[in-house]
Amino acid sequence: MSTDPRRQMFEPIEVALEELRERYLPDDRGEVADDIPELAKADPGHFGLSLVSVDGHRYRAGDTDVAFTMQSISKPFVYALALADHGLEAMLDRVGAEPSGEAYNAISLDPDTGRPDNPMINAGAIVSASLVAGAGAEERFERIRTTLSGFAGRDLALDDRVYRSEMATGDRNRALAYLMRSTGALGCPVDEAIEVYFRQCALSVTADDIATMGATLANNGENPVTGQRVIPEEVDEQVMAVMATCGMYDSSGEWLVRVGLPAKSGVAGGLMALSPAQFGIGLYSPPLDAKGNSVRAVEACRDLSADFSLHLLHRPARDTPVVSLRMPDNDEPAVLCLRGDVDFVGAEQALRSLDPVEAHWAEHPGPHELVLDLARVSSVEPVAAAMFEALAAGLAESGVRLSVADPRRRALLAELPEREAP
């Protein structure tokens, strides 16, 4: 637990993580993966939870510095790199974005085109890895390693033993690759694609690392600990969307209903989940359920989501941005005072609140004026700005002038004329 006095006030978060650890540590259901023989050596008693906020603060409990291999947790990051290289349209031609509803190693290919259903299952991940720009397996993997290191904020290394172990036994993935090669879905030689894919799966991380990686996704693609922009914002959104619908294999639908956080699990026992604009969480516990997800990590995420109201679709009741409306009075303009982050719904409420002012203007001779007081507004979304500009244009037609007052002159509505504070 933290001893830094400045962080005492955040201790409840570490207490909550520690409680989850204690609650589920005795749960010994599940089996440690053994289809990659080297993974069977993991200690089933390990359990770590690490959380990194988008401000870059870290909270942890348990075994958060035990190394394990990423396995499928590498998939969203490699997909992100391929998306950054080619763009969404070109990627959708090669790998779909539909949940397969099947096991991660199933032959989930489009019957007509051979295109894999999504990049979070093995078939789609093998094609994604083959699409990362680079001259051959070596160069492609180095780009992957560098990008994933950017997400983690430290240099990630290959676990050579796990890599060799999968190389020696991963024939099902080879078979998938041959099948996709035969239909043209895989554009490079099987050995090359498999080498890159097995290497990305064997990158060694800790729960702390995958928490930072999740926090980077939660923070629009910019690592909140190092400040490095790792992927473009639009790619970040696309990756989180695919994680939300496909990240937990054939339990993705139930996961979205119950937990409601974009997530990705791996057969080594890691699970990364994130809450957009809030935090990333990394969990590690090797015993897996029948679908290949870590038993303790899944239980802990369910509780965390419920206890902290984290479901993506949970929306707390919102405040109206309208602080006050001063009606026009003789020569004095009407003043609409707003606050907070003004988005689409906020702008809509602000515009509706003007109905009595418009009724007043209709009954009184002009000239009329409306002032938007933005002193307490922190941001205006582009859609809201466009709505206020349209309002200004409409009012101008009926001879009403709309101006903006902001003592800090932040040009939040740069297209509208400024006025001294009302």
Tokens (6 digits) for 207: 């729960």
Whether residue 75 lies in the annotated active site: yes
Q: Assess 71 for contact with ligand GLN (CB under 6 A).
A: yes
As a whole number of angstroms, the longest Cα–Cα distance in the chain is 86
Determine which residue in the list 201, 246, 298, 413 makes contact with ligand GLN, applying CB under 6 A: 201
Q: Assess 247 for contact with ligand GLN (CB under 6 A).
A: no
Q: Assess 166 for contact with ligand GLN (CB under 6 A).
A: yes
Element (H, E) at 296: helix 295-307
Determine which residue in the list 50, 118, 122, 251 makes contact with ligand GLN, applying CB under 6 A: 122
**Secondary structure string (H, E, C) spanning 267-289:** CCCEEEEEECCCEEEEEECCCEC
Q: How far apart are CA 136 and CA 145, in angstroms?
A: 14
CB 388, min distance to ligand GLN, A: 49
Q: How far apart are CA 403 and CA 372, in angstroms?
A: 6
CB 55, min distance to ligand GLN, A: 30
Tokens (6 digits) for 69: 């291999």
> Under rule CB under 6 A, how many of the chain's residues touch ligand GLN?
11
Peptide bond into 367 cis (omega under 30): yes
Whether residue 197 lies in the annotated active site: yes
Provide the strand spans (E) within 118-215. Answer: 157-158, 203-205
Determine which residue in the list 53, 105, 223, 294 makes contact with ligand GLN, applying CB under 6 A: 105
CB 165, min distance to ligand GLN, A: 10
Binders of ligand GLN among 290-329, rule CB under 6 A? Answer: 292
Q: Length of the chain in residues, anyone?
A: 422
Q: Assess 173 for contact with ligand GLN (CB under 6 A).
A: yes
Site string for ligand GLN, 72-91 (x = CB under 6 A): x-------------------
Q: How far is CA 160 from the centre of its chain?
A: 29
CB nearer to ligand GLN: give 7 or 291: 291
CB nearer to ligand GLN: give 18 or 35: 35
Active-site pick, 54, 249, 322, 357: 249
Q: How far apart are CA 396 and CA 385, in angstroms?
A: 16
CB 114, min distance to ligand GLN, A: 19
Q: Determine the residue type at 186.
A: L
Q: How far apart are CA 190 and CA 116, in angstroms?
A: 15
Tokens (6 digits) for 288: 């897996």
Determine which residue in the list 213, 267, 288, 347 makes contact with ligand GLN, applying CB under 6 A: 267
Contacts of 180 (CB under 8 A, 6+ apart): 109, 114, 116, 123, 126, 127, 186
CB nearer to ligand GLN: give 62 or 266: 266
Q: How far apart are CA 226 and CA 168, in angstroms?
A: 37
Q: Assess 250 for contact with ligand GLN (CB under 6 A).
A: no
Q: Assess 38 for contact with ligand GLN (CB under 6 A).
A: no
Determine which residue in the list 76, 266, 321, 333 makes contact with ligand GLN, applying CB under 6 A: 266
Burial (Cβ within 10 Å: 0-12, 13-18, ≥19) of residue 168? exposed
Active-site pick, 24, 53, 75, 342: 75
CB nearer to ligand GLN: give 246 or 342: 246
CB nearer to ligand GLN: give 162 or 235: 162
Active-site pick, 267, 298, 342, 371: 267
CB nearer to ligand GLN: give 159 or 208: 159
Q: Assess 108 for contact with ligand GLN (CB under 6 A).
A: no
Using DSSP's 3-state secondary structure scheme, residue 345 falls into helix
Rg (CA), the chain: 26
Tokens (6 digits) for 154: 């430290």
Q: Determine the residue type at 44.
A: P
Within 10 angstroms of residue 340's Cβ, the number of other Cβ atoms is 15
CB nearer to ligand GLN: give 7 or 174: 174
> What amino acid positions are annotated as catalytic residues?
72, 75, 197, 249, 267
Q: Which residues bind ligand GLN (CB under 6 A)?
A: 71-72, 104-105, 122, 166, 173, 201, 266-267, 292
